Amino acid sequence: MTRPDDRLLAQLRKHYLFADLSDAQMAELRPHLDVRAFDAGETLFDQGDEAASFFMLHRGTIKLFRVSAGGQEKIMRLIQAGQSFAESVMFMGEPRYPVNAQGLKGGQLVSISASAYLRVMQASFASCRTVMARMTERIQSHWDEIEALTLQNTQYRIVHYLLGLVPTNEAASADLSLPTRKGVIASHLGVTPETFSRVLRLLQEDDVIRMQGAQVHIPNVAALRRYSA
Amino acid sequence: MTRPDDRLLAQLRKHYLFADLSDAQMAELRPHLDVRAFDAGETLFDQGDEAASFFMLHRGTIKLFRVSAGGQEKIMRLIQAGQSFAESVMFMGEPRYPVNAQGLKGGQLVSISASAYLRVMQASFASCRTVMARMTERIQSHWDEIEALTLQNTQYRIVHYLLGLVPTNEAASADLSLPTRKGVIASHLGVTPETFSRVLRLLQEDDVIRMQGAQVHIPNVAALRRYSA
DNA sequence: GTGCGCCATTGATCGGCATCAAGCACGCGG
DNA sequence: CCGCGTGCTTGATGCCGATCAATGGCGCAC
């Protein structure tokens, strides 16, 4: 049980979960926060585990995933530093994590007691509303993903994923680096590493992207965007 | 602009959106409710339309769907009488419907002003919490769907859909009728009508289901359940 | 430096599901 | 009763992406 220090607490205040809270509320919450380190490959929780807390990732990378009967895994979400996850356990009657969570890159994790946060939120309709807004965004993105999975082919999905990594939307060209190993991204997109590799090669042959390791250069973002039409 | 009569209002109170509201809150809300009839095939709203209200279906059936560039449609949700939808427009910065909605079977629809409901909810943390719990359930079901779409084949998905229609979970055998046209169900499951038909035939040939039109008989629910393992 | 292990790539093959194309059954209006 | 439309079924074919298998490249331990 390690409480967050003042520096980390200040960081937390920037996150949407805490931005709308008063100092008094924050103080009330503090004893129910816990900071811990984790390693790459470490299992944080398994699907079905009883859940008393949700999380906010401070450093490192985490994958949320499910495993089929056949053993293949689908990464539902990639958590990067600064993002929170599993907030929804707050609202479950019998709270259980709906996915597995495992470290991809070691880091530091803040866990937040669900009941404590719920208590604080009761006095803050603003936080309530913010949380709901975030959940709404999540629902939207799920619908987008479901649509993409059923209505579009893999090339479309991969191009779209790349476009989602472009920092600014206006720039004519873009340079970016893949946030993690390619196999992980492939699983997130619901394709095999082989297919992912092949599509990337195709895009290079058609001169819409250029890549070297995890570095991707998009000479013409608009051209790439047209590619998925 | 037709206000709901007292009978309908009493019905509404049974729905989770209104169950936790006091009489005073309900009275405040009443002028912001509107009842209208719609026909089969009638478009209720399109994806991207500006949204000021969300809905609760009183009678009839509605499909929520998206359309790909190629023109094929994927039904995201089938709304039956008693269900609410598009609640999430309440929490959007610039509210727009994220899907198309169209009547499948004519009926009656109650629309609820998002801003009015939000105002009322501000005074009722219980409602707040209930709404969030529902949104959480929705998120869960999306994850299940995404998992099914990426990790399981069509036969699994179809069998699972049928199992979801079984009224009670304990019964050894079950009789049920498909809630709508088969083509609609197929689109909901992300397969073509042809494939849907073929899989159903297969299941019949293997004697795990028997069917006649929209009527389905499952002689052994456990056997069907094993089928998707 | 050398060997090992993991990941990415490339090629060959296979299979599931979509697509295209007929038939078939039922309901409805004339 | 017939004709037509709509939805369901059934068959033939093709394609996309998975699978199986081999190779290549890079980092790391020793």
Cβ partners under 8 Å of residue B207, min gap 6: B219
The gap from C-alpha B93 to its chain's centroid, in whole angstroms, comes to 24
Q: Which tens digit of pLDDT belongs to each residue from B88-122? A: 999 999 999 999 999 999 999 999 999 999 999 99
Give the other-Cβ count within 10 Å of B32's Cβ.
Answer: 17
Nearest nucleotide relative to B194: CA against C1': D9
User: Which pair of tokens denotes residue A22?
Assistant: 């008063």
Contact list, A190 vs chain B (CB under 8 Å) = 149-150
Tally helices (H) and strands (E) across chain A.
9, 9
Q: Looking at strand C, which nucleotides approach a protein CB closer than 7 A?
A: 7-12, 16-21
Q: What is the pLDDT of residue A108?
A: 93
Smallest Cα distance from A150 to chain B, Å: 6
Residue by residue, DSSP assigns B161-224 as HHHHH-S-SS-SSEEEE-SS-HHHHHHHHTS-HHHHHHHHHHHHHTTS-EEETTEEEES-HHHH
Region B41-68: mean pLDDT is 95
Percent of chain B with pLDDT over 90: 86
Smallest Cα distance from B80 to chain A, Å: 19
Residue of chain B nearest A67, judged by CA positions:
B151
Residue of chain B nearest A137, judged by CA positions:
B92
Smallest Cα distance from B77 to chain A, Å: 10
Q: Which tens digit of pLDDT belongs to each residue from A136-180? A: 999 999 999 999 999 999 999 999 999 999 988 788 999 999 999
Using a CB–CB cutoff of 8 Å, tell me whether B32 touches chain A: no
Using a CB–CB cutoff of 8 Å, tell me whether B226 touches chain A: no
Q: Residue closest to C8, CA→C1'?
A: A197
Is B135's CB within 8 Å of A132's CB? yes
Q: What is the pLDDT of residue B108?
A: 93
Cα–Cα distances (Å) from A30 to A9, A12, A95, A113, A116, in that order, read: 9, 11, 22, 10, 10
Domains within chain B, CATH numbers bracketed: 6-140 (2.60.120.10), 152-227 (1.10.10.10)
Contact list, B147 vs chain A (CB under 8 Å) = 66, 68, 74, 76
Q: Which tens digit of pLDDT belongs to each residue from A102-142? A: 999 999 999 999 999 999 999 889 999 999 999 999 999 99
User: Which pair of tokens denotes residue A161?
Assistant: 């994923």
Q: Residue closest to D18, CA→C1'?
A: A192
Region A9-31: mean pLDDT is 92
Give the other-Cβ count within 10 Å of A108's Cβ.
Answer: 16
pTM of the full structure: 0.93
Q: At what angle do helices B154-165 and B182-189 cross, to 10 degrees?
A: 120
Cβ partners under 8 Å of residue A136, min gap 6: B88, B90, B91, B92, B135
Cα–Cα distances (Å) from B134 to A80, A107, B35, B84, B124, in that order, read: 27, 33, 23, 11, 16
Task: Tell me the H-state helices in B15-173.
Answer: 16-19, 23-29, 114-121, 125-151, 154-165
SS (H, E, C) B1-33: CCCCCHHHHHHHHCCHHHHCCCHHHHHHHHHHE
- The single residue listed with the structure tokens 């359930």 is B137
How confident is the prediction for chain A on average, in pLDDT? 93
